């Protein structure tokens, strides 16, 4: 099977609850149409405190992410059309998913909100960095740093294989990281720190790691609520 990921672009004027309800209704239609493991991530009222940690330049902004699995991505037209009705614009990607950290401790019932916040981050590699070096730095070295310096309890890594929709921004990866909700307003919670000194140490390690392989000027990072139709 193949995993398809769609970034949802929506004007700021659309309220979070309205967008959430629209996407959840759309997800139900996708599931009924044969899409498997449908997931909705959306900037709703539950993560309103995350504006301070949002990184975004696109207009209209990224407000959600909807993903599902299907036998053959070439047969996506009907599902893609359904999703396209629910947003101002969509950007689709075929991805290779890996799960360095599976959420086992904060699992919600189907279609209910996963506790915490899902930080959805779109990344590009540093210019000139080879595929091999990018994979080593991202998959191996940065994974270790992220686990040791942050309070994440779930981590999904989507490596982009190709774009699926015309005009979709080019990304090398789309990352999903589950954090406690308190991480949105407390850096010590985010960085799993119990003191100011430990906070500085963890922040320094994280910054040094991402500077080795990411184009930091192109990053888009958005806090979202996660809803899994199949728990």
| β-strands 173-179, 62-70 pairing | unpaired
Q: What is the pTM of this model?
A: 0.95
Q: Say which residues have a Cβ less than 8 Å from residue 222's Cβ, sequence separation at least 6.
A: 43, 50, 54, 55, 56, 61, 62, 63, 119, 120, 121
pLDDT in tens, 74-124: 999 999 999 999 999 999 999 999 999 999 999 999 999 999 999 999 999
30 touches 79 (CB < 8 A) = yes
pLDDT at 7 over 70: yes
Supply the pLDDT for residue 230.
Answer: 83
pLDDT in tens, 192-209: 999 999 999 999 999 999
61 touches 91 (CB < 8 A) = no
pLDDT band at 135 (very low <50, low <70, confident <90, very high): very high
Supply the pLDDT for residue 231.
Answer: 60
The neighbouring-strand residues paired with 154 are: 178
Q: What is the mean pLDDT of the chain?
A: 96
Percent pLDDT > 70 in the chain is 100
pLDDT at 8 over 70: yes
* Helical axes 16-32 vs 77-84, angle rounded to 10°: 160
In the chain, where are the structural domains located? 2-228
CATH number of 2-228: 3.30.70.100
pLDDT at 156 over 90: yes
């Amino acid at each position: 099977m193949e995993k398809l990921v769609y970034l949802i672009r929506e004007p700021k004027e659309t309220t979070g609850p309205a967008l959430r309800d629209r996407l959840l209704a759309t997800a139900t239609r996708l599931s009924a149409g044969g899409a498997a493991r449908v997931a909705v991530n959306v900037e709703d009222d539950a993560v309103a405190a995350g504006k301070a940690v949002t990184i975004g330049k696109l207009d209209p902004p990224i407000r959600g992410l909807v993903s599902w699995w299907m036998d053959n991505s070439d047969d996506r037209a009907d599902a893609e059309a359904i999703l396209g009705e629910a947003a101002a614009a969509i950007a689709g990607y075929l991805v290779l998913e890996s799960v360095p950290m599976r959420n086992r401790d904060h699992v919600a019932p189907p279609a209910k909100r996963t506790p915490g916040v899902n930080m959805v981050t779109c990344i590009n590699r540093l210019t000139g960095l080879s595929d091999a070096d990018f994979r080593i730095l991202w998959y191996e070295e940065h994974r270790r740093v992220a686990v040791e310096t942050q309070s994440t309890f779930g981590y999904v890594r989507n490596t982009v294989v190709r774009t699926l929709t015309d005009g979709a921004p080019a990304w090398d990866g789309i990352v999903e990281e589950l954090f406690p909700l308190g991480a949105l307003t407390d850096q010590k919670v985010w960085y799993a720190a119990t003191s100011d000194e430990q906070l500085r140490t963890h922040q320094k390690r994280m910054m040094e790691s991402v500077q080795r392989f990411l184009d930091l000027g192109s990053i888009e990072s958005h806090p979202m609520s996660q809803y899994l139709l199949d728990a």
